[in-house]
């Protein structure tokens, strides 16, 4: 069996209203979906992380020639081929998100060839379902008082839908606020949903170490489970300071691209939750190794999930093979394309999400879904 086609499909959704977080604003959602086709008619799917600019050309012009004619079953070999070709070509930059998308598609094909879900090929199954927590609660361009009110009402809706764990966004300085407003937001949600609901917070590296200490102590009083990316994710010494000063769990990883970055921060013993993104961190091949790193060091493995939904399916497969503690990030931020994908491919009852057990990633991609959101991309 050989790869005969590698296709890049740019997709985009314009949002009816921009939403923001500590680092800025989104007015649209986009990604590049990759499709690998074999000479036996099998197709695998993956997706990149972030804007399509640049990634489209890299997938089509740089990586495609590396894969055409290769056996898609040789995933570790192909991963290394792509990685080291990119290292030689770009030196200081490796486009891991494109490698991640292609790697997902290769695993999707391998599972279909062997008529098994990817979690079985990774050593599972370890579970049939996983507990999901909601990501959402972004900011609109309103007054801070209105934003706190809107976020609180959104949290209430998620609880009414059966979710028992919610992650809030911090960083109201993007609207002219300060850390006191961030604490007010969390306090408002806590009072609204009650003490039984689990809360996490994500500052998207919007604080200084001093600010993170001040906020973190307040969050501990509000029974927040973890404090995600309070500071620059590459400030490992800063995380060590936070670990000394704070009692609540610290989480990071969505900004890391390579295994060695996770290994370095784990070696510092300053992080409790590892959060690799299946696209941004090089796909299933590398994220499985990161999951094992979390396991042997007694840390939580909670993949970051964002995008069209394909990466959520990939995350579910890795979680399904992982015997350690894990949760699923269930993104509810505005993205019509993802909502359509989830409706057709992901089953949820309350806080529990079923891990798809069909061959490959366990998903079905409809041509109409792709055509609806495809755009020129250039």
Query: Measured between alpha carbons, how far is residue 302 from residues 109, 212, 315, 320 in Å?
Result: 25, 22, 9, 12
- Look at residues 129, 128, 148 and name the one whose alpha carbon lies nearest to residue 140: 148
Q: How many helices (H) and strands (E) does the chain have?
A: 14, 13
DSSP state letter for 217: H
Query: Burial code of 50-89, b = ≥16 C-beta within 10 A, e = fewer?
Result: bbbeebbebbbebbbebbeebebeebeebbeebbebbeee
Structural Rg of the chain based on CA atoms: 20
Query: Measured between alpha carbons, how far is residue 2 from residues 70, 72, 112, 198, 322 in Å?
Result: 5, 7, 14, 48, 30
Pairing state of beta strands 198-202 and 43-47?
unpaired
- Look at residues 180, 326, 309 and name the one whose alpha carbon lies nearest to residue 251: 326
User: Any catalytic annotation for residue 304?
Assistant: yes
Instruction: Give backbone dihedrals phi and psi of 349, rounded to 5 degrees, phi first.
Output: -130, 105
Number of other CB atoms surrounding residue 131 within 10 Å? 17
Output the six-digit token pair for 88: 């030689």
How far apart are the C-alpha atoms of 339 and 341, rounded to whole Å?
5
Output the six-digit token pair for 68: 């055409």
Q: Which of 137, 158, 304, 322 is catalytic?
A: 304
**Which segments within the chain are labelled E, that is strand?**
3-21, 24-38, 43-47, 129-135, 165-169, 198-202, 224-228, 249-252, 273-274, 300-301, 328-331, 348-349, 352-354
Omega prior to 45 cis, within 30 of 0: no
How far apart are the C-alpha atoms of 126 and 8, rounded to whole Å?
33
* Residues belonging to the active site: 304
């Amino acid at each position: 069996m050989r790869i005969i086609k590698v296709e890049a499909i740019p997709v985009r959704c314009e949002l009816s209203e921009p939403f923001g977080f500590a680092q800025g604003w989104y007015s649209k959602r986009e990604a590049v979906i990759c499709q690998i086709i074999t000479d036996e008619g099998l197709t695998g799917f993956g997706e990149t992380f972030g804007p399509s600019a640049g990634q489209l050309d890299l997938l089509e012009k740089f990586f495609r020639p590396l894969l055409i004619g290769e056996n898609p079953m040789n995933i570790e070999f192909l991963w290394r081929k792509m990685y080291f070709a990119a290292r030689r070509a770009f030196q200081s930059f490796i486009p891991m998100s494109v490698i991640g998308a292609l790697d997902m598609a290769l695993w999707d094909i391998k599972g279909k060839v062997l008529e098994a879900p990817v979690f079985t090929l990774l050593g599972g199954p370890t579970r049939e379902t996983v507990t999901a927590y909601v990501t959402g609660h972004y900011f609109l361009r309103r007054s801070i008082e209105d934003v706190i009110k809107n976020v609180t009402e959104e949290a209430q809706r998620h609880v009414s839908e059966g979710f028992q764990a919610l992650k809030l966004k911090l960083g109201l300085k993007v609207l002219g606020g300060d850390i006191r407003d961030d604490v007010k937001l969390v306090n408002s949600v806590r009072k609204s949903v009650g003490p039984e609901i689990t809360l996490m917070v994500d500052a998207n590296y919007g604080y200084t170490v001093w600010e993170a200490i001040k906020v973190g102590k307040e969050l501990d009083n509000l029974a927040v489970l973890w404090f995600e990316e309070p500071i620059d994710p590459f400030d490992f010494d800063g995380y060590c300071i936070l670990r000394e000063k704070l009692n609540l769990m610290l989480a990071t990883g969505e900004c890391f691209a390579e295994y060695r970055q996770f290994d370095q921060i784990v070696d510092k013993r300053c992080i409790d939750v590892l959060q690799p993104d299946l696209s941004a961190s090089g796909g299933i091949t590398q994220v499985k190794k990161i999951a094992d790193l979390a396991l042997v060091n007694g840390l939580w493995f909670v993949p970051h999930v964002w995008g069209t939904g394909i990466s959520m399916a990939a995350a579910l497969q890795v979680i399904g093979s992982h015997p350690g503690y894990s949760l699923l990030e269930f993104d509810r931020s505005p993205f019509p394309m993802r909502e359509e994908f989830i409706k057709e491919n992901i089953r949820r009852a309350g806080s529990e999400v079923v891990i798809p057990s069909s061959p490959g990633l366990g998903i079905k991609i409809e041509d109409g879904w792709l055509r609806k959101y495809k755009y020129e991309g250039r």
